[in-house]
Amino acid sequence: MSKILAFIPLVFLVHLGVQSQEVKHSIYLIGDAGKDTLPGPALRMLEDELNQNSNSSVLFLGDNIYPAGLEGKDGKKKQRLSELKLLSQLERTQEHEGYVFWVPGNHDWKAGRWKGHWLVKKEAEFVESYYQTHKSIKNDSGHVFLPKDGLPGPLMESVPEHNYNLIAIDIQWWLQDQFFHKVPTEDGLNKRRMEERFLERLDSLIKMSITEGRLTIVAAHHPMYSNGHHGSAKQPFRFILNWIPPFQLFGLMGLNRAMVQDIPQPRYKRIRNRILNVLNQYEGVLYVSGHDHNLQYLKKENNHFLVSGSGSKRSTLSGDKYEAKYMNDLNYGFMRLDVMDDGKIQCHVFGHTRGGIIHSFWLN
């Protein structure tokens, strides 16, 4: 009996220790929110959250405008509709006093079509101009839409007051390149040398961030792992276009632009594997993405991979190819990462079916 009585205070102290943990900073993850001109349930929930939580950052994880980016010319109906879709997200943050970051997705690149590079730069100008006018957020205009100039990055933004570094990358740069429209490079480098420079920089930035003792977040639209539509195994038609010589001509002409968006596609798979070779040298990195229109958490090689792509669209999970700790395809929603004062991170999943948090778990 005395052993039991001695154990009770210990349990109480452990419980008190857990309860006393305070949230140092929250980071919201929302992707693929660009379908509607009026905000849907996920964006409305996000706005409510931000109005109550100024001690936070928001990451918009690409596909910010469906179906083909900021298309059209000035005065054209399509461009105005595209701007309204972008504004439906921007205006949810107009009173926010924290940090806001955006990365592009494949639909922001005009879904792989000609002039995609031009349109993603126009979108960046639109987003940056909005925050230059509405001066509520903490990061300055010019440090919101990342990477820059339609280049793949990596580009790092430091948030020292909240002890994290954000490293933005754009995998669409590799998937966009087609026979009739080439992607831009920098410093006169060819594409192969650009890729090597990208990987060297990524490695250097992650190493620097971890050495500084900061939470390291790699933000992209395209996931490294996914059990959604874009992670499914190659179908026969896709295999024919990718591997049978006569049909590969369609790929050279850019007619397979939708199919390059899947992880098993050779071009996607190749750069993914090279990025993972860099990530796997480290521990505790958070890789956050959208692309698949559901909510997933996977842990691989001691790093954390989150897919939060149901900002305005939903798609069913297509299996369990990659072992996941959490998956949900029933909700429009997003994720919130709460960084505690001891460095631990709790993830809260928000879904429209409950109008708030539907699940919580620790990243461990």
Ordered per-residue pLDDT tens for the chain, 364 residues = 454 444 445 444 444 444 568 999 999 999 999 999 999 999 999 999 999 999 999 999 999 999 999 986 555 778 899 999 999 999 999 999 999 999 999 999 998 888 899 999 999 999 999 999 988 899 987 899 999 999 999 999 999 999 999 999 999 999 997 766 678 899 889 999 999 999 999 999 999 999 999 999 999 999 999 999 998 765 556 556 555 656 655 555 555 555 789 999 889 999 999 999 999 999 999 999 999 999 999 999 999 999 999 999 999 998 888 999 999 999 999 999 999 999 999 999 999 999 999 999 999 8
Residue with tokens 């140092």: 24
Task: Return d(Cα 172, Cα 196) in angstroms, integer.
Answer: 16
Q: How far apart are CA 28 and CA 25, in angstroms?
A: 10
What is the Cβ-side half-sphere exposure of residue 321, based on CA atoms within 13 angstroms? 15
Report the DSSP beta bridge partners of residue 28: 58, 336
- Integer Cα distance of 185 and 176 in angstroms: 13
The identity of residue 279, as a single letter, is L
Using left for φ > 0, alpha for ψ between -120 and 50, and beta otherwise, residue 44 falls in alpha
Strands 333-340, 303-308: pairing kind = unpaired
Q: What angle is formed at CA 110 by the lines to CA 316 and CA 230, rounded to 5 degrees?
A: 25
Instruction: Say if CB 71 and CB 119 are below 8 A apart.
Output: yes
Token representation of residue 190: 């060819």
Q: 255-274 burial by CB neighbour count: b if 16+ within 10 A, else e?
A: ebbebbbbbbbebbeebbee
Q: Which candidate, 62, 2, 22, 41, places its Cα nearest to that of 332?
A: 41
Tokens 């461990």 sit at which residue?
A: 364
Token couple for 219: 């933000």
Cα–Cα distance, 269 to 278 (Å, whole number):
15
The CATH number of 20-362 is 3.60.21.10
Write down the pLDDT at residue 184.
Answer: 87
- Give the pLDDT confidence score for residue 16 in this predicted structure: 44
Q: What is the pLDDT of residue 12?
A: 45
Contact 363, 347 (CB under 8 A): yes
The amino acid at residue 4 is I
Question: Distance between CA atoms of 148 and 133, rounded to whole angstroms?
Answer: 20
**Cross-strand pairs, 139:** none
Alpha-carbon span 85 to 75, nearest angstrom: 16
